[in-house]
A = this chain, B = another copy of it.
Amino acid sequence: MSHEIIEKERDRIAPQFFGATGTKHESRYQRGLKVLNRLDGEAARRLIETLQEVSPDFARYLVEFPFGDIFSRPALDLKSREIAVLAALTTLGSATPQLKLDIAAALNAGCTREEVLEVIMQMAVYAGFPAALNGMLAAKEVFQERDRGRPGAEAQAQGTKSSLGETA
């Protein structure tokens, strides 16, 4: 398959990624913000603002690629994507703040608390009991925060209270 074919293939499969159709020219960044807002607008906004203070480019990539490109693909629903994310982050073990953000996001995407716990519990089989145990304790914290009326995990975000959530 030659380079020309590569180019054609790309156009055939995903013309919408290159600004041709639909709501016309919606950028990857805009698409990413929409997904983030649906998952956990307030927490995502704070995280992005915190990141922008150290690396605005990385903050942009974080919106564009994971959320603008991957999460917004129609072939898998958001709830299933969050199940995959909970499994991955519990397995990694070293990303507890992100796990807490995504436990909240999973709940916002339609997972029940019970389903969140099932996914984390299942990781005892694949990543070991310590990883699952830490995931369980992270879930407990997120549930408690929500029961107290506060939005999900806020561990990594310390920013101003601007309007990203509303305007995106």
A-side residues, CB < 8 A to B, are 1-7, 9-10, 13-14, 16-20, 25, 27-29, 33, 45, 47-62, 65-66, 69-71, 73, 75-76, 80-81, 83-95, 97-98, 114-115, 117-119, 121-134, 136-137, 139-140, 143, 156, 159-160, 162-164, 167-168
Contact = CB atoms under 8 A, between A and B. Distances in A.
Contacts of A71: 122
A122 B1 contact: no
Give chain A's interface secondary structure class: helix
Contacts of A18: 27
Nearest to A157: B137
A118 B73 contact: yes
A13 to B, nearest CB: 5
Copies in the complex: 6
A17 B25 CA distance: 10
A112 to B, nearest CB: 8
A60 to B, nearest CB: 5
A119 B76 contact: yes
A96 to B, nearest CB: 8
Given A16-B19, A117-B58, A127 B128 contact: yes
B93 A94 contact: yes
Nearest to A21: B18
